[in-house]
Chains A and B, each alone.
Chain A
Amino acid sequence: DADVTQTPRNRITKTGKRIMLECSQTKGHDRMYWYRQDPGLGLQLIYYSFDVKDINKGEISDGYSVSRQAQAKFSLSLESAIPNQTALYFCATSDPGQGETQYFGPGTRLLVL
């Protein structure tokens, strides 16, 4: 079984809708992250969490919110989706014992019409 899972894997939604992307991990890591990736571009950090009570904004948090329900679960919400949020979204965990090596989920491909 995959260590970091994301649901759904693909999602099509309409402008203005609220959607939630979910991430679960079995690696036992405290630290979790949400990134977006636009075609041909690198990874942009949306939010990160170093433990259940710690949530931090990344580079591009506007229009997004997160919830850390448990050590193993970190959800990303788009409050009112807009077309320029169409992207590939990745969840990741990190291991501070390995210099913050990050381990990525398989990604969620989101299309906002």
Chain B
Amino acid sequence: QKEVEQNSGPLSVPEGAIASLNCTYSDRGSQSFFWYRQYSGKSPELIMFIYSNGDKEDGRFTAQLNKASQYVSLLIRDSQPSDSATYLCAVNVGGAGNKLTFGGGTRVLVKP
């Protein structure tokens, strides 16, 4: 079982709709959770991070964390064609190996 799992997609979303992306993780000790956006051939860019259960909003993006169920999700409201990219979920387990583990990414296509 992979430590961080994402549906590879593509997730096709009409312009203006809400895109919903999910990520599950295996280690209950995970402490911090990140969403990155990556355009084809470019480097990942941080969208947001979340530490606590619940929702965190930043502009059109909302991250939702549920530690009991071991998932983190990302909502993109009012999706735009420029949101078409691959979205990477990353988890920091913490402890001595304090580094991020990345999921395989979900490709999102926003259609005009």
Interface residues of A (CB under 8 A from B): 31, 33, 40-43, 45, 48, 88, 90, 94, 96, 98-107, 109
Contact = CB atoms under 8 A, between A and B. Distances in A.
B69 interface: no
Interface of B: 8, 31-32, 34, 41-46, 49, 51, 88, 90, 92, 98-100, 102-105
A43 B88 contact: yes
B68 to A, nearest CB: 20
Is the contact region of chain B dominated by helix, strand, or loop, or is it mixed?
loop
B99 to A, nearest CB: 6
Contacts of A33: 99
A78 B93 CA distance: 29
Contacts of B45: 104
Contacts of B103: 42
Nearest to B104: A42
Contact of B43 (A31, A94, A107): A107
